[in-house]
Structure 1
Amino acid sequence: MNEVRPAPVAWSDTAWRAIGCSVLCGLAYAVLALLGEDQLPVSAPVVMVLARWFWLRHGLWGPGAVAALAGTAVAFLVADALRPSLDRLPADTLATEAGLLVALVVFTVCSRLRST
């Protein structure tokens, strides 16, 4: 039986997605800071963009699940480490960035391992 496997994620695609999501994260931070709102999640727009990218372009469920778990774990650990020394909004923004980068790298690496 010939199974069609999706192509692995290109590093250039990962880099462009990381840049775009970082800009989006910065914009979310700026808007929330201007509104004086530190309770809303700065990560929500980033997660929505990544989910749409995954759903429409890649659909590699195993690597996607591993990346989501790794990115979430890193984001929680970084937020937990930063919140005592920073305000909530900057700490959450930096934690979102760290989780984003880890999730994208893990997804790209796992998609390449699966294709070999």
Structure 2
Amino acid sequence: MHGLHLTADLYGCACAPTLLTDAELLGAQCVQAVADSGLQAVANLFHTFPATAHGPGGVTATVLLAESHLCVHTWPETSAVTLDVYVCNFGGDHSAKAHALMGALQALFKPDRCSVNGLVRGL
């Protein structure tokens, strides 16, 4: 086993507010970003959480990839998003595609600051 696991914490996201609260809208954007990066979606699940006293409910969007997964969590009350992109590199190196997907999602949310981490797995 060998792979690349990228994570990002996005703050001050200046995207359309509905992107942080509408599961179907966010899901469609995720599936398109996966395709545009050259990765292959095989299944997905998109869920909007109920509103609370703190504000509107956030979204979790998960796309199962032939290469592994993408998971996005939104916090509309703080304009924050976490991203998780993991690709297995067994049989081929998908690292560039993982970086392309991460970059596309960062651009989509338009954060004013972010923290990105990468971990090579299974050395």
* TM-score normalised by L of structure 1: 0.37
Larger helix share, 1 or 2: 1
* TM-score normalised by L of structure 2: 0.35
| Structure with bigger gyration radius | 1
Larger strand share, 1 or 2: 2
